[in-house]
Amino acid sequence: MLQINFKPFPELESTRLKLRKVNETDVKEVFILRSDAGVMKYIPRPLAKDFQDALNHIEVINRGLAANQSINWAITEKGKDKLIGMICLVNLQLENYRTEIGYILNPQYQGKGIADEALKTVIDYAFNTLNFHSLEALIDPLNTASENLLKRNNFVKEAHFKEKTFYNGEFLDDVIYSLIRPKE
Protein backbone atom coordinates (compact mmCIF):
# COMPACT_ATOMS: atom_id res chain seq x y z
CA MET A 1 0.00 0.00 0.00
CA LEU A 2 1.15 3.51 -0.78
CA GLN A 3 2.48 5.50 2.21
CA ILE A 4 1.82 9.27 2.32
CA ASN A 5 3.22 11.92 4.65
CA PHE A 6 2.43 15.59 4.09
CA LYS A 7 4.76 16.74 6.89
CA PRO A 8 6.53 19.04 6.40
CA PHE A 9 4.00 20.70 4.12
CA PRO A 10 5.19 20.36 0.52
CA GLU A 11 5.25 23.80 -1.08
CA LEU A 12 5.37 23.52 -4.85
CA GLU A 13 6.54 25.99 -7.47
CA SER A 14 6.11 26.40 -11.20
CA THR A 15 7.16 29.11 -13.60
CA ARG A 16 4.63 31.68 -12.34
CA LEU A 17 3.07 30.07 -9.29
CA LYS A 18 3.76 29.08 -5.73
CA LEU A 19 1.46 26.50 -4.17
CA ARG A 20 1.46 26.84 -0.40
CA LYS A 21 -0.56 25.79 2.65
CA VAL A 22 -4.04 27.30 3.05
CA ASN A 23 -4.05 29.33 6.28
CA GLU A 24 -6.64 31.10 8.40
CA THR A 25 -5.21 34.37 7.06
CA ASP A 26 -6.68 33.35 3.69
CA VAL A 27 -10.22 33.56 5.08
CA LYS A 28 -11.24 36.58 2.96
CA GLU A 29 -10.06 34.99 -0.31
CA VAL A 30 -11.57 31.59 0.58
CA PHE A 31 -14.85 33.36 1.37
CA ILE A 32 -14.74 35.20 -1.98
CA LEU A 33 -14.33 31.88 -3.82
CA ARG A 34 -16.82 29.83 -1.82
CA SER A 35 -19.53 32.52 -1.73
CA ASP A 36 -19.45 33.25 -5.48
CA ALA A 37 -22.39 31.52 -7.17
CA GLY A 38 -20.55 31.55 -10.51
CA VAL A 39 -17.42 29.90 -9.07
CA MET A 40 -19.48 27.34 -7.15
CA LYS A 41 -21.94 26.71 -10.01
CA TYR A 42 -20.60 23.22 -10.71
CA ILE A 43 -19.61 22.30 -7.15
CA PRO A 44 -22.56 20.84 -5.22
CA ARG A 45 -21.77 22.49 -1.89
CA PRO A 46 -23.58 25.28 -0.04
CA LEU A 47 -22.33 28.80 -0.68
CA ALA A 48 -20.36 30.35 2.17
CA LYS A 49 -22.57 32.89 3.91
CA ASP A 50 -19.93 34.56 6.05
CA PHE A 51 -16.28 34.42 7.11
CA GLN A 52 -17.12 31.73 9.68
CA ASP A 53 -18.17 29.39 6.86
CA ALA A 54 -14.83 30.08 5.16
CA LEU A 55 -12.96 29.46 8.43
CA ASN A 56 -14.86 26.19 8.86
CA HIS A 57 -13.78 25.14 5.38
CA ILE A 58 -10.14 25.98 6.18
CA GLU A 59 -10.46 23.93 9.37
CA VAL A 60 -11.73 20.93 7.37
CA ILE A 61 -8.77 21.35 4.99
CA ASN A 62 -6.31 21.42 7.88
CA ARG A 63 -7.86 18.39 9.63
CA GLY A 64 -7.50 16.38 6.42
CA LEU A 65 -3.90 17.51 6.11
CA ALA A 66 -3.07 16.68 9.75
CA ALA A 67 -4.47 13.18 9.26
CA ASN A 68 -2.60 12.71 5.93
CA GLN A 69 -5.99 12.10 4.29
CA SER A 70 -5.96 15.05 1.87
CA ILE A 71 -3.93 18.07 0.88
CA ASN A 72 -5.04 21.48 -0.37
CA TRP A 73 -2.72 24.13 -1.72
CA ALA A 74 -3.37 27.83 -1.99
CA ILE A 75 -2.58 28.90 -5.54
CA THR A 76 -0.57 32.13 -5.41
CA GLU A 77 1.49 34.08 -7.90
CA LYS A 78 5.21 34.01 -7.17
CA GLY A 79 6.21 37.05 -5.14
CA LYS A 80 2.62 37.59 -3.96
CA ASP A 81 1.03 35.74 -1.07
CA LYS A 82 -2.63 36.33 -2.01
CA LEU A 83 -4.67 33.14 -2.52
CA ILE A 84 -6.16 33.25 -6.03
CA GLY A 85 -7.40 29.68 -6.06
CA MET A 86 -6.99 26.26 -4.50
CA ILE A 87 -5.98 22.86 -5.79
CA CYS A 88 -6.19 19.61 -3.88
CA LEU A 89 -5.68 15.89 -3.70
CA VAL A 90 -8.61 14.31 -1.84
CA ASN A 91 -10.28 10.93 -1.48
CA LEU A 92 -6.91 9.22 -1.38
CA GLN A 93 -7.22 5.52 -2.21
CA LEU A 94 -3.78 4.46 -1.00
CA GLU A 95 -4.46 0.75 -1.53
CA ASN A 96 -5.22 1.51 -5.20
CA TYR A 97 -2.51 4.16 -5.70
CA ARG A 98 -5.27 6.51 -6.86
CA THR A 99 -6.50 9.92 -5.72
CA GLU A 100 -8.91 12.63 -6.79
CA ILE A 101 -7.69 16.03 -7.89
CA GLY A 102 -9.81 19.17 -7.65
CA TYR A 103 -9.36 22.89 -8.19
CA ILE A 104 -11.10 26.23 -7.92
CA LEU A 105 -9.92 29.59 -9.25
CA ASN A 106 -10.94 33.20 -8.74
CA PRO A 107 -12.70 34.41 -11.93
CA GLN A 108 -10.27 37.35 -12.25
CA TYR A 109 -7.50 34.81 -12.89
CA GLN A 110 -9.36 32.43 -15.19
CA GLY A 111 -8.38 32.18 -18.85
CA LYS A 112 -4.71 32.98 -18.13
CA GLY A 113 -3.31 29.46 -17.96
CA ILE A 114 -3.06 29.52 -14.16
CA ALA A 115 -5.28 26.49 -13.57
CA ASP A 116 -3.36 24.61 -16.26
CA GLU A 117 0.00 25.46 -14.67
CA ALA A 118 -1.19 24.54 -11.17
CA LEU A 119 -2.70 21.29 -12.46
CA LYS A 120 0.53 20.29 -14.24
CA THR A 121 2.51 21.03 -11.06
CA VAL A 122 0.27 18.88 -8.85
CA ILE A 123 0.13 16.07 -11.42
CA ASP A 124 3.92 15.96 -11.42
CA TYR A 125 4.01 15.91 -7.61
CA ALA A 126 1.30 13.23 -7.37
CA PHE A 127 3.04 10.91 -9.83
CA ASN A 128 6.74 11.59 -9.29
CA THR A 129 6.91 12.35 -5.55
CA LEU A 130 3.90 10.61 -4.02
CA ASN A 131 4.00 7.72 -6.54
CA PHE A 132 0.29 7.58 -7.31
CA HIS A 133 -0.60 5.43 -10.33
CA SER A 134 -3.74 7.32 -11.36
CA LEU A 135 -5.64 10.53 -10.77
CA GLU A 136 -9.33 11.19 -11.18
CA ALA A 137 -11.32 14.38 -11.47
CA LEU A 138 -15.05 14.42 -10.76
CA ILE A 139 -16.83 17.18 -12.68
CA ASP A 140 -20.27 18.33 -13.69
CA PRO A 141 -20.78 17.44 -17.38
CA LEU A 142 -21.88 21.02 -18.06
CA ASN A 143 -18.54 22.39 -16.84
CA THR A 144 -16.88 22.60 -20.26
CA ALA A 145 -14.01 24.79 -19.02
CA SER A 146 -12.97 22.11 -16.52
CA GLU A 147 -13.51 19.37 -19.10
CA ASN A 148 -11.27 21.18 -21.59
CA LEU A 149 -8.58 21.74 -18.94
CA LEU A 150 -8.56 18.04 -18.12
CA LYS A 151 -8.46 16.99 -21.78
CA ARG A 152 -5.53 19.35 -22.44
CA ASN A 153 -3.71 17.52 -19.68
CA ASN A 154 -4.40 14.06 -21.17
CA PHE A 155 -7.22 13.07 -18.82
CA VAL A 156 -9.75 10.76 -20.48
CA LYS A 157 -13.43 10.39 -19.78
CA GLU A 158 -13.86 7.27 -17.72
CA ALA A 159 -17.51 7.37 -16.68
CA HIS A 160 -20.71 9.39 -16.85
CA PHE A 161 -23.06 8.72 -13.95
CA LYS A 162 -26.63 9.82 -14.60
CA GLU A 163 -28.35 11.62 -11.71
CA LYS A 164 -25.77 10.33 -9.24
CA THR A 165 -25.75 13.23 -6.79
CA PHE A 166 -28.82 14.70 -5.12
CA TYR A 167 -28.20 18.35 -4.26
CA ASN A 168 -30.42 21.35 -3.73
CA GLY A 169 -33.58 19.48 -4.67
CA GLU A 170 -32.34 17.97 -7.94
CA PHE A 171 -30.39 15.00 -9.23
CA LEU A 172 -27.08 15.89 -10.89
CA ASP A 173 -24.90 13.93 -13.29
CA ASP A 174 -21.24 13.32 -12.46
CA VAL A 175 -18.46 12.68 -14.94
CA ILE A 176 -15.13 11.13 -14.00
CA TYR A 177 -11.99 11.91 -15.96
CA SER A 178 -8.81 10.01 -15.18
CA LEU A 179 -5.12 10.15 -15.91
CA ILE A 180 -2.87 7.13 -15.56
CA ARG A 181 0.78 7.72 -14.79
CA PRO A 182 2.71 7.58 -18.05
CA LYS A 183 5.02 4.60 -18.40
CA GLU A 184 8.66 5.53 -18.56
Across the range 109-130, mean pLDDT stands at 97
Q: Which amino acid is at 42?
A: Y
Put simply, whether the predicted model's pTM sits higher than 0.85 gets the answer: yes
pLDDT tens digits, residue range 62-118?
Answer: 999 999 999 999 999 999 999 999 999 999 999 999 999 999 999 999 999 999 999
The C-alpha R_g of the chain, in whole angstroms, comes to: 16
* pLDDT, position 172: 95
Across the range 49-59, mean pLDDT stands at 98
pLDDT score of 184 more than 80: no
